[in-house]
Structure 1
């Protein structure tokens, strides 16, 4: 059941992120493209869920163009405004399809669930999505896969492990060229419904602590990572909030809450010693 439950979490993350992304993207530009690789990998469930989200955005689409590109060995029938179904291997066909429909320099979001397909996509396939402006991607890799090759060309990347036990879980990677989008994704990450047995793990946590999915996640891993960061030297609250946002599974606001507890406990010191814990306050061990 764990594979099925993880698949449900992935679909909910995709749906929630699309529901926020589509209106924001259409507000920014008249043409918007959503690309879905391995559309048949899970029986077409994720691609169908994504298509329904796009079809539900009628109020935002008037006078604008919202397109979906779907690639896979056997792309399922999808109900959306404009679907470009391209049969064939995603690594081969997705970059070609993006060029064919003119996805350059328009808001572009790509979703590739390599874990469901049983493969790790070619890094060039993910890099092809950087043609968008702004561009984003959601990528799921099989347990134990190396995420580093997929960072090229993406200024902001964050990772979260979807786990059900102490064994390595599927690795979800989110990359974007827009800082505000990263903040939005983090909010979505913690807002999904919790499914029995499925929890998050921060890949940067040396203790590999499993974290329940919650609007107020357990702060233990973030506390350890912030203290490890401060071992390099003092840092401002802004720098620590940015670290939490970009290098951990947590949000910037979570870092602020943890810093308050660390200051109150005397684990760290702050300069100046009084007043609001603003961005320019310096934190030291």
Structure 2
């Protein structure tokens, strides 16, 4: 497995999502918190990339508070590098960085409470692909309002124990072969955040054969990273969903794609057009725009 390529994909996805999340959160609230767990897992490459994104918000943090809390086993070598990026940013006192060594499970929940993470926008990134992470560590992020988490689990891991407190939950495998890949999980308390994550997911550049796999696809099809992803797995999942429920509105099927698959709502609309044209499903009414209230039946 190309671990370096997978690490690059994870890092770019974090950067793309953070670039959209940080300015939106700063416009919405006076205090914003970004939490980075296992910051020493990759030698600090991911947390430094995140720090650069936060430092670019220097114009927005004036009069506001943007805080990073980074935890890991030993951040002694990483803390000075983060401080240097902070010093060069010109963000002044509005950008605060707290590095806490001693382990993420033991330190992150305490650190979030100490800096007052309750009821302010919070985004957490926890790459536990080489570590074990406690469900309580992930759920500690739900103190935020709204709250988002990007969580990476080892190949073959289950995300079931991490769903508590996250009303919206999506996951995708990062794979380079037929073997199980690392599991990337996104949890959020806001629908717009899930849409933003999906846009970032498919806008990442393809690296060294890394592809996505939808954990809900029984055929375990590998999907190339693309702005217009291959619709095969989504087609199968929509048809399986219709087999279970009989019929569903376009809105319900778009929501199903967004929340239960790796795809976006817009991808579901694209698949529905092809299914209707092929005669695989019917629509009611039979003519006109494919609006949200149109009912789709096998």
TM-score range, shorter chain: over 0.9
Q: Hey, what's the Cα distance between the residues in 1 that align with 2:104 and 2:228?
A: 37
1:152 lines up with 2:169 in the alignment: no
Give me the whole-angstrom Cα distance separating, in 2, the residues matched to 1:238 and 1:226. Answer: 13
- Cα separation, 1, equivalents of 2:48 and 2:119: 26
User: Match of 1:168?
Assistant: 180
Alpha carbons 1:95, 1:125 under 8 Å: kept = yes
Alignment of 1:1-285 (within 5 A): 2-75=2-75, 76-77=78-79, 78=82, 79-80=85-86, 81-115=95-129, 118-232=130-244, 233-285=246-298
Inter-partner Cα distance in structure 1 for 2:147 and 2:112 = 12
Deviation at 1:196, TM superposition (A): 1.7
SS at match of 1:86: strand
1:37 is displaced (CA, Å) by 0.3
| Residue 62 of structure 1: how far off its partner (Å) | 1.2
Structure 2 residue ranges without an equivalent (≥5):
87-94
**Secondary structure, counterpart of 1:263 in structure 2:** helix
Deviations along 1:171-206, one digit per CA (max 9) or x if unpaired, are: 000000000110011000000111121000000000
Q: How many residues align?
A: 283
Counterpart Cα distance in 1 of 2:166 and 2:68: 22
SS of residue matched to 1:231: helix
Q: How far apart, in 2, do the equivalents of 1:51 and 1:235 lie?
A: 44
SS in 1 for 2:161: helix
The Cα offsets for residues 69-128 of structure 1, whole Å up to 9 and x where unpaired, read as 00011121213331111111100100000000111110000000001xx12310000000
In 2, are the aligned partners of 1:29 and 1:107 still within 8 Å (CA)? yes
**Which ranges in structure 1 are unaligned for 5 or more consecutive residues?**
none
User: CA separation in 1, counterparts of 2:73 and 2:135?
Assistant: 19
Deviations 1:148-184 (A, max 9, x none): 0010010000000000000000000000000011001
What is the root-mean-square deviation of aligned Cα atoms in Å? Answer: 0.7
SS at match of 2:42: coil
SS of alignment partner, residue 96 of structure 1: helix
Q: Is the 8 A contact 1:35 1:70 kept in 2?
A: yes
Contact 1:120 1:145 in 2 (8 A): no
